Structure formats: structure tokens, C-alpha cells
Amino acid sequence: MPEYVEYCRSRFPEAEFVLRNIFSDGIGGEFDTIILSQVLNNRYQKSDNNLVMQEAIRAAYTATRSSVSIDMLSAYVDVPSSELYYYSPEAMFAFAKTITRRVILRHDYRPFEFCLQLFHESAEGYVA
């Protein structure tokens, strides 16, 4: 959202924040980390939500030096909406493990959301 990017730019002027449609424009560079927050939550009528999410995760990971963090709506939701798509935390974790061995799955901050974090093995703090 443009408003979110502008807020971040004003709060952290030393950092670079980019608003971009990665499917049509590509990632457009290499970054330390990419955060995908509240994206790809709508249920697609003509696309497979899981495949779109996997493409986004793969593209973001390829364009980072350190990590990717992405939150998703969880299949463990109490009251689902037919307009939204709820991802399987287990399936997304298994997919992330095909990209890197360093994956964190957090499903403890809200009952209907989870966060995946993928880290490059070369990122600082990695213990082999």
C-alpha cells in the first residue's frame, strides 16, 4: 500500500522502501530482507493461490541476501470467509524447506495467521 511505504520512508529515511507488483515488474534488485505482509490473502478465481504464494516466496528469496518474512492467513481459522484464502502452515513450511534449510514457522501471535521466515545460510548468525 502506498500509504504504508510512505509512512516507512518518513519514519526510517535511511532505509529504502519499494512499492512494486513483483509478478508484473519483478523484484527489481537485491535486498537484505523482503517482508511480504498481508499480501495474497484474497481467494483467486482463475489462479491457484498456493502456486502464486510459492512463486512469490521463491522470487523474494532469490532477491535477498539475508531473509524473507511473509505472513499468511491460516487454515486453522475459526470463522472463514469465502472471499479469502487460508494456507496450510504445514504445506507452506514444507515448501519453504525445499528452498532453504533455515525456516521458522510462527503460529503463536494470532490464531488465524502465521508467519514464515526463510534465511540464507550465509546470513549472519547461522550455525552450521
Angle at 102 between CA 98 and CA 108, to 5 degrees: 105
Residue 128: the pLDDT is 57
Whole-angstrom distance, CA of residue 121 vs CA of residue 32: 13
Q: How confident is the model at residue 127 (pLDDT cuts 50, 70, 90)?
A: low
**pTM, 2 dp:** 0.83
pLDDT digits (tens, 9 = 90+) for 6-20: 999 999 999 988 888
Residue given cell 545460510 in the structure block:
121
Whole-angstrom distance, CA of residue 123 vs CA of residue 120: 5
Whole-angstrom distance, CA of residue 86 vs CA of residue 29: 30
Compute the mean pLDDT over every residue in the chain, rounded to the nearest whole number: 92
Amino acid at 102: R
Q: How confident is the model at residue 66 (pLDDT cuts 50, 70, 90)?
A: very high
Q: Where are the domains of the chain?
A: 39-128
